[in-house]
Amino acid sequence: MPDVPANPNRRPPAAPLFAAVIFFAGGIVLQNSTYKPASLYFLCMMALVVCALLSLRFGKRRRVLLAYVAAAMAFFPAGALLASAQGSQPAPAATVLRYASGDEVVLTGYVVREGSLRSGRDLHESLDFAVERAQLDGEVPQAAEGRVRLNVYVPESRKSSAWETEEDGLEEANAAALPVYGYGQRLRIRAKLRPPGNFRNPGNMDYTGWLRGQGVAALGSAKLTNIDVLPGLEGSRVERMRWKARRSVLEQMERLWPAPYAGLFQAMVLGERGLVAREQKLEFQRSGTFHLLVVSGMNVAIFAVFLLWLMRRLRLPMEYAALATILLTCGYAWMTELGTPILRSVLMIAAYQVAAVMNRDRAPLNTVSLAALVLMAANPQVLFDASFQLTFLAVLTIAGVAVPLFGRTTTPLHEALEDIGDLGRDLTLRPKQAQFRLDVRGISKSLGVLIGRRPANWLVQKTTLGLVTLAELAMLSGLMQVAITLPTVWYFHRVNAHALWANMAVIPLTSLLMPASILAVVAGYVAGWMAWPFALAAKWALRGILLTVHWSGGAQLSDLRVAMPAVAAVVSVGVSYALALLLARRHRILMGASLGLLAASAWFVYLHPRAFEYNAHALEITAIDIGQGDSFLVVTPGGHTLLLDSGGLLGMSHSELDIGEDVVSPYLWERGLSRLDAVAFSHSHSDHMGGMRAILRNFRPREIWYARNYPTHEVEVVMASADSLQVRRTERHRGERFNFDGVGFEVLSPPEDWELKARGQDDASMVLRLTYAGHTALLVGDIHKRVEKRLVEEAARSQIPLRADLLKVAHHGSNTSSSDEFLDAVRPAYAIISAGVRNPFRHPRPEVIGRLAQHGAKTYRTDLFGPVTFYMDAGGVHPWVAR
């Protein structure tokens, strides 16, 4: 009897919510890219809803399909309408910003994010503080509102050769340990506040917007000795319970595992990464396993699967097991930081369990779509969050591509291995599955002659199952790496060379670590001896993970850093991914072709970065906005590049920010640069070369230039990195002249016999004079007046004028430099000052600005303008500032 085609009027879509999510996200993107009145969105949405209802009521042919299309399209104006409504809500005024001037202010309020210890060059604590009252010295306390993110530190003397100040005044170290301030605790704090700010280079992170999304209005720092605990508690009782439970678990981990294991367990189980060193985080990033250091959806899924296994062992009915799994999973997520991946996983687990109880089909693609729809409806702007995009792309790949792929490859093998001793089951399976069972039995029988029937059956069955599972892991890891290549390159400019095998190793270990560590914590509350076996198992799993991460993330070529991808590469990935989703359940040839095309497009992202744009008729000198420090990109008319200085944090900073990795590199990648021809650092202070190690690692320059430097630890680290990366080292001295791709370079200082002193490193700065098309730029580092005087005298003796069209003002505009005598000799038409906004030294000094104005120099400053570019050609120097 011939097959009768299904009635198209009654054929439901395979994943009805997936199209709704796509349209909903499209509406959010539309609203964020262009403005339309909310009334227009509302009318469009209502019109489409009416069309859907009319199609069901009066349509004669394919009415279900028409109704579905109209209903799905209604989500497009719905997303735009919701995004418009959220954008129209005024943000609450944060009056605490009135006190964010850098002066000390006394704040009264309570802790809203419990203190978290941070590792780094010293131990400090980060907490969020809800301000109620603020008082400046000599004024009456005033009511204030707003949340402040405070860095609490123990005052100590941290002066070193790696940084310089114009004033001493740091106090001696306080031996008291940092207490952890709990949620709701009332405090009186004397702190220095500043408004959050962004580095204004293209490609840099919107740090201000990120803080605003967390409700933080200002940043500040406070000494431990300037904090008084007040009586009473504030805040929500539920939140207080949550933070208390979280702190108890964190302390239990510190008791169960010694440092540094405790910090890693805290990161992997609860997402508390404060005690994980930056270098260790970098190893996880390079190996493609950084998701282990955050509580991701994988952690929640492992927790839920373990609970379901435990419920089955306890023989609980399905309804009670599902309810217990949902409640305990929600409780676990409640103690974490509740990021997007966690919420997504909790929603999916709840949907799966409810569907199981109701005997409904648990379509993975529908479940993913439901979770995405709920999160975007709660906050439309989450769509533009990198974490949201990565986590849903990963889960969508599993649901939309991996599940169909497994259904054609490994799932039939799993089915064939079930009850392999039951001969009657052979008749219920497909011929290939039955033949596979016969082959496995044949191997077992042959092996049984040597080792016995039972051991052979067990060994062959477990080995076969292990190989099938390993194949699944390999396919899944490969699919995930291909699928997330574009967002990984777009946001992190990283292609992980070892991520495939590293994840194959760490995922099974994490599946052991998660339940073992949770059981150890729970048992530890009962008796220490009960926790010991679980803690030991978790520790060995962690050691396996660390060994894998070190082998893969510690290699020099463990990850490849690439520039922003070209538009063609982005489009090719989008098209090939859509085809993979559409063809995943089609003929196996079409499915294989689509997966091959997806893999090729992912490789195309790496091979086809954005083109590096430069002026082929002028020399470019760009002062990068890196805060308090120096970093200049020099681009020749031939497209060759030199990075002079890499910026870096001052020695007394408690931040973990790496200026080279987090500020300079993203700007260079945004420009389309994946390699540099040369790098140089003027002298060995951290605000000039603190980021150089990251620059060497990310851009693999051919050579590094430097002058004689006082032998500091920072210099030794940079030199060791250069040697390990086979970067040619070139020491420059006064009198050297050389050509760099058509640009004349001359080294004016320091001389080869310069006396090196620990506190004289500014004057050891490498001074470069660049000449192109008859015009000159003078880059002088941080030299002081005595070196300026020597340069003037040497120019007079040699009868070679010190004249320059562009001057890089020395020492960020400090009054220790830029003397009248020097400016008389240079007579710059333009001057550039690289300084940080509201820096502690108050650079540039008004006296320096005045002297530059008196000598006719048009002065540009990175603290006011952000990055500033100068083009030098035969017509002179032409400044350009992005608006």
DSSP secondary structure string for all residues of 801-846: ----SEEE-GGGG-TTS--HHHHHHH--SEEEE---TT-TT-PSPH
Residues 6+ apart with CB under 8 A from 244: 182, 183
**What angle do the packed helices 340-357 and 364-378 form, to 10 degrees?**
130
Nearest-5° angle of CA 644, CA 648, CA 652?
A: 145
CB count, 10 Å around CB of 540?
A: 14
Q: Name the residue with tokens 């949340």.
A: 147
- 413-420 contacts, C-beta under 8 A, 24 or more apart: 413/464, 413/468, 414/465, 414/468, 416/440, 417/461, 417/464, 417/465, 417/468, 420/461
Alpha helix ranges (H) inside 136-195:
none
Name 166's Cβ contacts closer than 8 Å, sequence gap at least 6: 814, 816, 841
If 0-12 CB within 10 Å is exposed, 13-18 middle and 19+ buried, where does residue 243 land? Answer: buried
- Residue 685 CA to residue 260 CA, distance in Å, equals 30
CA–CA separation, 760 and 754 (whole Å): 11
**Tokens 């099938």 identify what position?**
468
β-partners of residue 426 are: none
The contacts of residue 347 (CB under 8 Å, 6+ apart) are: 370, 371, 374, 375
The predicted model gives 285-309 an average pLDDT of: 86
Measured distance CA(870)–CA(619) in Å, rounded:
8
Q: How confident is the model at residue 499 (pLDDT cuts 50, 70, 90)?
A: confident
- Name the residue with higher pLDDT: 206 or 5: 206
Q: By the 8 A CB rule, do 494 and 285 touch?
A: yes
What 3-state class would DSSP assign to 376? helix
Coil, strand or helix at 509: helix
**DSSP-assigned letter for residue 177:** P
Coil vs helix vs strand at 281: helix
What span, in angstroms and rounded, lies between the C-alpha atoms of 147 and 550? 39
Beta carbons of 122 and 89 less than 8 angstroms apart: no
| Residue 130: pLDDT over 50 | yes
In 606-715 the beta strands, taken as DSSP E runs, fall at: 619-623, 632-635, 641-644, 678-681, 703-706
Are residues 91 and 152 in contact, defined by beta-carbon separation less than 8 angstroms?
A: no
Q: Is the pLDDT of residue 280 over 80?
A: yes
Write the pLDDT tens digit of every residue in 101-120.
888 999 999 999 998 888 76
Asked if the model's pLDDT at residue 217 lies above 80, the reply is yes
Predicted pLDDT at 162:
36
Average pLDDT for 409-435: 88
pLDDT at 177: 67
703-706/678-681 β-pairing? parallel
pLDDT at 365 exceeding the cut of 60: yes
Q: Is the dihedral of CA 677, 682, 688, 690 positive or negative?
A: positive
Helix (H, G, I), strand (E, B) or coil at 763: helix
Least confident window among 385-394, 549-558, 755-764 = 549-558
Q: Does the pLDDT at position 7 exceed 50?
A: no
pLDDT tier, 337 (very low <50, low <70, confident <90, very high otherwise): confident
* Cβ atoms of 272 and 266 closer than 8 Å: yes
Q: Is 131 left (phi over 0), alpha (psi -120 to 50) or beta?
A: beta
Scored b (16 or more CB within 10 A) or e, 574-591 reads: eebbebbbebbbeeeeeb
Spell out the alpha helix ranges (H) of 712-811. 713-724, 785-798
Give the model's pLDDT for residue 497: 75
Sign of CA dihedral 32, 33, 37, 42: negative
> Token pair for residue 593?
């072709």
pLDDT value, residue 164: 38
Q: Is 196 exposed, middle or buried (0-12, 13-18, 19+ CB in 10 A)?
A: middle
| 776 φ/ψ angles, rounded to the nearest 5 degrees | -135, 145
pLDDT in tens, 246-257: 999 999 999 999
How far, in Å, are 619, 661, 880 from residue 877 at the CA level? 9, 30, 10
Q: Could you give phi then psi for residue 367, rounded to 5 degrees?
A: -65, -45
Q: Which tens digit of pLDDT belongs to each residue from 726-735?
A: 999 999 999 9
Amino acid at 444: S
Q: Which of 151-160, 317-326, 671-680 has the lowest mean pLDDT?
A: 151-160
Token pair for 297: 């959806």
Question: What is the rounded average pLDDT of the residues 37-42?
Answer: 88
pTM score of the predicted model:
0.89
- Dist CA 543 CA 553 (whole Å): 15
- Kindly report, residue by residue over 222-235, the tens digit of the pLDDT: 999 999 999 999 99
